[in-house]
Amino acid sequence: MRLNHEEYRQKLLGCWLGKNIGGTLGAPMEWERHLNDVSFYTQELGGEPLPNDDLDLQLLWLVALEEKGVDLDSHDMAEYWNLEVVANPAEYGVSKANLRVGLPPPLSGYFGNRDRDSCGCFIRSELWACICPGMPELAARYARQDGIIDHGNGEGIYGEIFFAALESAAFFISDLRDLLKIGLSYIPENCGVANAVKTAIASYDAGDTWQTGRDEILRNHRGEAHQIQKIALEDVEKGFADGKPCYDVPSNAAITVLGLLHGGEDFDRMICTTVNCGEDTDCTGATAGSIYGLIHGFDAIPERWVEPIGHGIRTVCLHPDFKNKLPENLEELTDRTEALAYQVDRTYNQNEAVVTDGATEMSDVTAETFLAPNEGGDLYEDLEGPVYEFDCFTVYLDYGNDPLVRSGEEKSITVKIYNTHSLQTHLTLDWYLPHGWHVSPSDSGEVLSIPTILGIKPLTLTFTFTPDHVRRTTNRCILAIEVNSRPGVLLVPLTLLNGDFGACNPID
């Protein structure tokens, strides 16, 4: 399985251009619940696209990958997110507030976050696909690391993983139905995103118009309307005036799919149908446009859509001082994305390079080639707390329901230690706690660790903390793990917030 270098670049540029076109087309109608009637841009653009978080937040990850390396994880990403993202609405602001009091991903994404089922991370899927062409499992893992920062364990990460896997496979698979099958294989069968996407597919297969399909999606999967004053009377009469609060990604992912199905190979029909369904129109249009570009390539996008916005990049969510690190146009973005893809290939792909100067080879590629192993199940393990990776060990902390601790009350934390080495060894565990805190069964002890490659489950230990009095807002503990016969010490942070005030979690 190999992809010709020039064909790869065609798809890359098509992806980024489609993203800009759809985001620009849909921006003026964002979050209006009514049918639109657009057939082209509705504003004077002067040769530039509109700034949009759908693309510029991915530029943050582009720079992070270049500076930290392609093996970066959610902890690395969170540092960039906290420092360089200036947007503060909804999940963006909640996650940054959580990070600033010491809560790492996924706690930063789910604690107190009523917007974890919203659209803020599915719009960031393309970069992971573009640096992992034909490697949807790896693209999905990157998407998970990204999405948990501001969506924790919510529907948002299902949307990002669904699209990242689909888009990665689109470098080799051009049939949309096969791509939808691949994307769905990576998310839980009955999650909200999967059910909504299946509604879109079923409506299309039944021969419904796109308007009827849009109504079916809203009838069964809608969130609340964000602008109550901009709900069409017809939608009020259909019962669409209410909805589940902040439950946005299922319906908008389904609308994106609906537009792609009804549009087929016709770019105009595809992009306009998607935006004309309403809801989060800049996000749905941008994602649909990028998927079209990945499937069909840059040359398939009509020039009339390109000329008004050109190939420039405009940002809105990133710190002004960060902008000197960003690509100036889509060609530079394509160059830098391609360079990262080669690094990913060398780091993770044990076979021949996926992108080569030779001819594209796809004779052995089918949709089944790209389906998720284990139905994607291991992507959703260990989502109740952070994971820390070390050379030969992975440590996971399960915080339970929340990261709160209260004076005189017990708080239990489960620690899983995965021995990823080939040898068993003894580990010495020591807890370093704030003054006046107690931990059972002990603050120090020794355990035997067996490699998980031998089929052994991870070493699982539960510790119960009881503070005499919680004095600080943020309370930091350290688990020091000494590995027998090794000079280093693994330091695992545990952060607990003061829960004495009671109403610390606004979504409880």
Domains of the chain: 3-372 (1.10.4080.10), 384-498 (2.60.40.10)
Angle between helices 249-263 and 210-221 (to 10 degrees): 160
Could you list the pLDDT tens digit for every one of the 508 residues in the chain?
778 889 999 999 999 999 999 999 999 999 999 999 999 999 989 899 998 888 989 999 999 999 999 999 999 999 999 999 988 888 899 999 999 999 999 999 999 999 999 999 999 999 999 999 999 999 999 999 999 999 998 999 999 999 999 999 999 999 999 999 999 999 999 999 999 999 999 999 999 999 999 999 999 999 999 888 889 999 999 999 999 999 999 999 999 999 999 999 999 999 999 999 999 999 999 999 999 999 999 999 999 999 999 999 999 889 988 889 999 999 999 999 999 999 999 888 756 668 777 777 776 778 888 999 877 678 888 788 899 999 899 999 999 989 999 999 999 999 999 999 888 899 999 999 999 999 999 999 999 999 888 878 899 999 999 999 998 999 999 999 999 877 889 999 999 999 988 655 656 5
pTM for the model stands at 0.94
What do you get for the CA distance between the two ends of the chain, in Å?
Answer: 49
CA distance 175 to 172: 10
* Among candidate residues 184, 314, 237, 202, the one with its CA nearest the CA of residue 33: 237
CA distance 398 to 3: 41
d(CA 71, CA 477): 27
Tokens of 366: 């089918």
